[in-house]
Chains A and B, each alone.
Chain A
Amino acid sequence: MKNRTVLPNIYLIVILCLFYLPIILVILYSFNVSRISSVWEGFTLDWYRELLRDRSMFEALRNSLILAALSSAAAGVVGTLGATGMARRRMRGGKAMEYLSTLPIMIPEIILGLVLLVFFSALGLPFGMVTLVIAHTIFCIPYVYLMVKARLAGLDKSYVEAARDLGASEMRAFYDITLPLTAPAIVSGVLLSFAMSFDDVIISVFVTGANTNTLPIKIYSQLKTGVTPKTNALCAVIFLVTVFLGGLSAWIARPRKKDINI
């Protein structure tokens, strides 16, 4: 009888360990003295120091942060409004629009990258920050939209109706009732978008210009040309940022007991 519970747990643990193995290795070797990462020659923080001295790295970091902030904020506004509007009444073509607006995260990334590249080029947009922000906003909207939609589906409509019956205007009901109740989903959707944008490489590679690098683009080119422990250090820093944001997003959106009443 005991075997039956132990074996599955061992299986779960082994697979989970394999999930973490590459991540741990990358972080571990960022502290390695040796340039050739396979041999461990001692602990050092030199690679982090070198990372701090690298100006192009800071530029890439700045670009990544600006890009993620702008596109997740834009997606936050557009996605929230969209989900709220869609939840209020059935609109003609609403299903089709919903399908279209969530399409960017359903199709292979390479297709979205291609489609946007050729379209931006046809429009004559300058490749760089502008195209990056548009592209990232497009694939961030679905995350916010789906999260807010799920939250709205669990809400009782009578709260808004009660506010309206008591004389609150449309706007007032939205600000005072809908917005506070959906706030956790909005924040969590925006944080998830931020993490996705901060991490994206495929779409960015397609729509960026020659002079605009983001951190993932830099890592990608280093992985193809040759890595140094500095790359490890960079990965470790990005890892901390995404895990922090992702954790925050999950923590804010966590199911709470009091939700049952709302």
Chain B
Amino acid sequence: MMSKKNRQSARESGASRLLVAPMYLITLFFVLGPLIYMVVLSFQQRAEVWGVENRFTIGNYLRIFEPVYMNTFIQSLKLALLSTALIVLIGYPFGYFMAKLSTKWRSRAMFALIIPFWTSSLMRLYGWIIVFRANGVLDTILMRFGLTDAPLKLLYTYPAVVTGMIYVLLPFMIYAVYASVEKMDWSLIEAARDLGASPVRAFVTVCLPLTLPGLFSGVILTFIPSMGLYFIADILGGNKIVLIGNVIQEQLMKAHDWPFAAALAIVLMLLTSLLLFLYGKITKSDSLEGLI
């Protein structure tokens, strides 16, 4: 016969299952299901006119190695690396200084940061269009101060796209760095200083290693999305800068080659998972710092 405690725990376990049931079902059907379907699709073939033919092929994956698509991957990686590097340079000091503010100002700074974060990214990019367009705000200011003679026409150029990337992704880096600097034990720095380390040396040998998980987490949180944010390249880059996200979108919505789009997405996802895996290995943790 079951003891009272056992019976109660069995009943509780049943109730817990009931509670999680909707989430489990939705996740299995609408997250796992579509993912599996995408993998299957990536090995199928595009039909002559419309739709997909049910024949196994690895042609979609081989096609990625065609120079056109390889170049796009390389261009995406380059842009992602450049944006991420600049985001580290701008975001690390910001997160660091923010964590050193008094409690009151810290939460104010946090709030000031989160408002642009809630704002539609389209609207914020639109703001940059106003800044960058020919005879726009930037050109007007530069010409008024006599720094340039003619409009720079920065809209639809590489720097405009990089600015857009930095602008949209910077908050992720700031939060990640802030989270790890904030919980750092400052007495360790003081100890290093007392033992004769210069401020720079104390920072490099004590603070930097301790905040490395936050920095890594920020790098991943900015690097991963920067490969998929096709609409930034779309809006600020015109048709000149083509990223892997743009190719996926084009294959999906214009060329209607869904198997190929699926293969591209899977490669992108594998790259993403690889980064997350490396992050876990390097920092020995399973959650990203400063994510929510």
Interface residues of A (CB under 8 A from B): 8-9, 11-12, 15-16, 18-26, 29, 37-38, 77-79, 81-82, 84-86, 88-89, 91, 97, 100-101, 103-104, 107-111, 114-119, 122, 134, 137-138, 141, 143, 145-147, 150, 164, 170, 195, 199, 201-202, 206, 216, 219-220, 223-224, 227, 231-232, 235, 238-239, 242-243, 245-246, 250
Contact = CB atoms under 8 A, between A and B. Distances in A.
Contacts of B248: 110-111, 114
A81 B88 CA distance: 38
Contact of B94 (A11, A24, A134, A206): A11
Nearest to B134: A38
Given A23-B123, A79-B23, 4 more contacts: A23-B119, A38-B136, A108-B245, A118-B34
A88 to B, nearest CB: 5
B263 to A, nearest CB: 11
A137 B26 contact: yes
B122 A219 contact: yes
A213 to B, nearest CB: 14
B119 A15 contact: no
B126 A100 contact: no
A239 B120 contact: yes
Contacts of A9: 97
Given A206-B252, A220-B122, A235-B120, A246 B115 contact: yes
B235 A223 contact: yes
B127 A21 contact: yes
Interface string B27-68: 110111111011001000000000000000000000000000
A12 B17 contact: no
Contacts of B41: 118
Given A85-B18, A118-B41, A242-B118, A23 B113 contact: no
B33 A119 contact: yes
B120 A170 contact: no
Contacts of B35: 115
Main secondary structure, interface of B, reads helix
Interface of B: 8, 11-13, 15-24, 26-28, 30-35, 37-38, 41, 90, 93-94, 97-98, 100-101, 109, 111-116, 118-131, 133, 135-137, 140, 167, 170, 224-225, 227-231, 234-235, 245, 248-249, 252-253, 258, 261-262, 265, 268-269, 272, 292
Contacts of B170: 19
A122 B97 CA distance: 51
B15 A108 contact: no
A114 B261 CA distance: 8
Main secondary structure, interface of A, reads helix
Given A108-B224, A242-B119, A141 B26 contact: yes
Contacts of B123: 22-23, 26, 219, 235, 238-239
A97 B34 CA distance: 15
A134 B253 CA distance: 20
Nearest to B25: A78
B37 A119 contact: yes
Contacts of A219: 120, 122-123, 126
Nearest to A79: B23
A172 B129 CA distance: 55
Contacts of B18: 85
A89 B269 contact: no
Contacts of A170: 11-12, 15
A201 B28 CA distance: 25
Nearest to B90: A15
A53 to B, nearest CB: 22
Given A26-B126, A91-B16, A19 B34 contact: no
Contact of B235 (A12, A79, A91, A224): A224
Contacts of A104: 31
Contacts of A24: 127
30 contacts: A8-B93, A19-B116, A22-B126, A22-B127, A22-B130, A23-B116, A23-B123, A25-B130, A26-B123, A38-B130, A81-B20, A84-B19, A97-B23, A100-B27, A107-B224, A108-B228, A108-B268, A110-B228, A199-B118, A201-B121, A206-B252, A206-B253, A219-B123, A223-B122, A224-B235, A227-B126, A242-B118, A242-B119, A243-B118, A250-B111
Nearest to B225: A108
A78 B98 contact: no
A115 B100 CA distance: 43
Contacts of A37: 130
A138 B34 CA distance: 12
B16 A25 contact: no
A82 B31 contact: no
A96 B227 CA distance: 26
A8 B130 contact: no
B17 to A, nearest CB: 7
A38 to B, nearest CB: 5
Most buried by A among B23, B28, B34, B272: B23
B129 A81 contact: no
